Structure 1
Amino acid sequence: MHKMFRLHSKNPSASSSTTSFSAGSSSGGGGMSYSGPKYGIFLVGATYLDTILHVADFPTEDSKQRAERVEQRRGGNAANTAEVLAQDPRARVWYMSSLPSASASRPLLSDLEECNVKTDACVYHSSQNAPPQAYIISAGRTGTRTIVSHSTLPDLTLNEFIKKFDAACMRLTSDIDQISCPFRWIHFEGRGEDVYKMIDYVESVYLRHGWRQKLTISVEFEKGDRPGIANLLMRADVCFFSRLYVETLQFDRPEDFLASVGSFCKPKATLFCCWGTHGAVGLHLETQTRLSASTGRLDMVVDSVGMGDTFIAGIILALGIRGYDIGRGLRFACELASQKCMQSGFKRLLRSMPQDD
């Protein structure tokens, strides 16, 4: 059984309650000096080379339009989340991904390593000479981004995961003597038919060593049409659902979706759905406590690419490292995601947040 997160609710014994928050007054850490215990976080996902076309308005079909600016940077949901997490000095962040040859991957991984993300767990495919590509049209006036991606890389296999994960556990345990288990939070992108087997393997290792109570396993559900993704619902302690996933399943409101999907999840799971600039909602299944938070006022959207990835990082930081209750964690994650939209990229994002108390 994973550790329980504290609830922020006026009536925690009620069978169903709703609590709303504004993102404007959350406090979160930006301090970079820390000498206390370190917390291992392990993330598994796909890595892309993003080409971002910044335009004022999304182009109409069969038209020509000049981009205001173009940028290339390393992308990928879990990779972006890892970059934000690594800005907290309490976090020791490891990242695993299926990648092309070592030479083709070097520009992507050097960027992550410079951000203090360990990439030793990545798996290389020497026959692949180019990274997966994502072309993103970012419309400044509406804050939307439209993504067209392409990848020929195979998904991670269970055997690849076991080999690299075991090595990472041994490495982290020997590097950090302040922790009693290697990783306190393990996060998966919901892609690939072997992901549920990877989670089952992690469960078996942590149960065997008596660590399971200290571990949180989370899964991001981004696309509803991915094979085997339904197998992950009952395996995650924390579920992150994208707006795309919810709308693919014909729901218009995130609150309605969370109420419906809860019966397919762990009875004590915590569910989150980020709804872009409209904020996010959460549901703690054991108490049926519903929570919501706004993004606050966005005076100017500079770069919305990675807003959802930043939200996930905010929840992991808030609940997994800082010990916030779920309500405060949701508020913190929304504020962090809002801050992301007001800057380009992810650099020094946590420094813009108030000091942790």
Structure 2
Amino acid sequence: MRDDEIAAVRVELEAFVAGVFASLPRKDQRAKGKKDGPSSPCVARQYSGTLGKIGNCQIGVSVHAATDAASCPLDWRLFVPESWDDACADTNEDAARIQERRAWAGIPDTVRGHRGGCRLRGNHRVPPGPERTEHPVRARGQSLHQRPQRRGRARARPLCRPRARGTDRYRQKPSSLRELALAAGRKELHQATWRHGTKTGPGNRTAAMKSRFLALRIRPANRDIPLLEDGTLPEAWMLAEWPANEPSPTDYWISDLPADTARKTLVRLAKMRWRIEHDYRELKTGLGLSHFEGRSFTGWHRHVTLVTAAHLFITRLRLTNPKATGAA
């Protein structure tokens, strides 16, 4: 299967997804697979959430269509680390060695992507539906969108007017998310329901899943975040979940959704991550997402495309005929 044939199959899958799902908010996700040896395309020593440490692995970036009932991958890209980019080599000898590895793995010369991570949205074909995305924001080397911060250790600045160029840009030192939440106080909390589950009780007959949330506009402080044209840090949303019986927030998210985004929408998209995590477990354990043992860049994309097709078939069957029995 050639690259153009893989792209054609993904177009068909996206059109099918648009017909199955009623609404299509989209979220980024990363799949990490442990690898032994240096021969697999784009394999490198990098952090893996599956391993819980830095290890030899590949990282696949995906865009998902997601609802409260189901999710499905729409597009995939194998992350190209710096060690696989000859433009980042320190010497001509290193560049030649990397070019040889890229040619052997069949990585096109136009495929880069280590700078700031893979950006799928710029060239991703979006099926019909509302465009709701949540971009990753980096702080302390982690993607806060991808993994909620339970201790509020990421640094950020409150919205304030920066000083002129040539001086210290901000009068205030960056604060942690926890410090910003505590400074705002409980008076800024609002209760929000993100979905209805299946466990009812005397005090919750509708099985509403709800909690109290705080939403603030901040400027994430990190040297890896590109500055705006005027030299200031871009604004972002900080969302914090603060249960009634807790002395401080328990979970944090950062998102660069527009400033007029409703708090309820922020909460719904943040909590929708559980659905994608559930489906990722199904992709890996039931459909063989992490079973690829090939040595080519095109082969990896062919493999994840076929896994996506199988996952979409199962998802459609679960939504339309949940009690269907499998073949003997």
- Interval of TM-score (by shorter of Structure 1 and Structure 2): under 0.3
Structure-1-length-normalised TM-score: 0.25
Structure-2-length-normalised TM-score: 0.26
Structure number with higher relative contact order (C-alpha < 8 Å, ≥ 6 residues apart): 1
Instruction: Return the structure number with greater helix share.
Output: 1
